[in-house]
Amino acid sequence: MSMRFAGKVVLVTGAAGGIGAATVRALVAEGALAIASDLKRPARDLGIEDVRFIEAEVSDRSSVDNLVAAAEAVAGHIDALVHTAAILGASGPFEQLSSDDWSRYLDINLTGTFNTCQSVARSMIRTGTRGRIVTMGSVNAFAAEPEAAPYVASKGGIRLLTKAMAVDLARHGIAANMVAPGPIHVPRNTELFAQPELVALFAQSVPYGSAGSAEDVARAAVFLADPNLAFVTGAELAVDGGTMAQVLALPKAAG
């Protein structure tokens, strides 16, 4: 195992979730000082020693600024941010959505990404750190799925926000890139993804033949957070088993 993150400080939001926790583990395995953040359970539940945990609500700007200040107090600076904090799932048919449905997804997913990335970027500029920012989009940043308008809008917004950051922050030596997960098996959807009809759907519609894992996404995030990957910015890395590479998965002919 390489230790390319030895001496590097990486802030991971959404660290209590499947992808966030896997990212923390992957970073620690490569020598990073990981600062984990989430709204809920502490980092000790990740099963990793020596991880600093700081509570924060990403939709609350003052909470995010306090998180970044606390991270600076612990480590002096932040070399990279991997922002995975988000909510997902269907919200209902478009014509039946309430303004609260809309606001909930946009506040946490899109505004939360803005709050966290801007606060970290300001910290990087202030400390003279040529850092890396990794956002968590989705294949739904490129195409919609039924009854998920607020979610797909939030992910589409993250996609272009990441590109805007890449352009604006390049003069400071800060890179911004996005990971776009497809169907990913994480602890909270274990029962759902075990349903035979869903397993069959993935086998038919995903070129790789199955859903991916949180570790698949974590490896992509760690790749984009690599301090040596300096000239890659504004990029999108799909972790979807080839889902977006095909137009339509037609049923296989019998015989």
Q: Quick one: which of 235, 69, 238 has its CA closest to 140?
A: 238
Phi, psi of 49 (to 5 degrees): -85, 160
pLDDT (0 to 100) of residue 44: 55
Q: Average the pLDDT over 204-231 and give the result.
A: 92
30 near 54, Cβ under 8 Å?
Answer: no
pTM of the predicted protein model = 0.93
* Cα–Cα distance for residue pair 21/226, rounded to 1 Å: 18
pLDDT score for 246: 85
Q: What's the domain count of the chain?
A: 1
Given 53, 105, 114, 151, the catalytic residue: 151
Torsion of Cα atoms, 37 then 39 then 40 then 44, to 10°: 10
Q: Give the H/E segment covering residue 81.
A: strand 80-83
Q: Note whether residue 252 is domain-resident.
A: no
Q: Sort 52 into a burial class: Cβ within 10 Å, 0-12 / 13-18 / 19+.
A: middle
Asked if residue 151 is part of any domain, the answer here is yes
> Is residue 43 over pLDDT 60?
no
Using the predicted structure, report yes or no on whether residue 156 has a pLDDT greater than 50.
yes
Average pLDDT over every residue of 196-216: 85
User: What value does the mean pLDDT take over residues 33-50?
Assistant: 75
Who contacts 62 (Cβ-Cβ below 8 Å, separation ≥6)?
Answer: none
Q: Rounded to an integer, what distance in angstroms lies between the CA atom of residue 245 and that of residue 180? A: 13
Q: Is 151 a catalytic residue?
A: yes
**Mean pLDDT across 185-198:** 76
> CATH number for the domain including 124?
3.40.50.720
What is the pairing mode between strands 52-55 and 9-13? Answer: unpaired
On whether residue 207 sits in a domain, the answer given is no
SS3 at position 77? coil
The arithmetic mean of pLDDT across residues 120-125, rounded, is: 99
Structural domain contains residue 49: yes
Structure tokens at 130: 């040529």
CB contact burial 60-76 (16+ within 10 A = b; e otherwise)? bbebbbbbbebbbeebe
234 domain-assigned: yes
Contacts of 254 (CB under 8 A, 6+ apart): none
Percent of the chain past pLDDT 70, that is, above it, reads 91
Q: Is residue 82 part of a domain?
A: yes
Cα torsion for 165, 126, 4, 169, to the nearest 10°? 20
Mean pLDDT, residues 26-38: 95
Let me know: does 53 contact 70? Beta carbons within 8 Å.
no
Average pLDDT value for the chain: 91
CB 186, CB 23: distance < 8 Å? no
Lowest mean pLDDT among 147-161, 201-215, 232-246: 201-215
Average pLDDT over every residue of 14-40: 94
Q: Is 135:161 a contact under the CB 8 Å cutoff? A: yes
Residue 252 confidence class, pLDDT cut points 50, 70, 90: low
Would residue 58 count as lying in a domain? yes
Residue 233: which pLDDT band, with cuts at 50, 70 and 90? very high
Q: Is the pLDDT of residue 42 over 60?
A: no
3-state secondary structure of 245: helix
Domain for residue 104, yes or no? yes
Find the range with the poorest average confidence among 36-45, 89-98, 135-144, 146-155. 36-45
Q: In this structure, what is the dihedral angle of CA atoms 102, 104, 109, 111, given to the nearest 10 degrees?
A: 90
Q: How confident is the model over 131-152, as pLDDT tens digits?
A: 999 999 999 999 998 999 999 9
Segments forming the whole domain that contains residue 126: 9-187+214-238
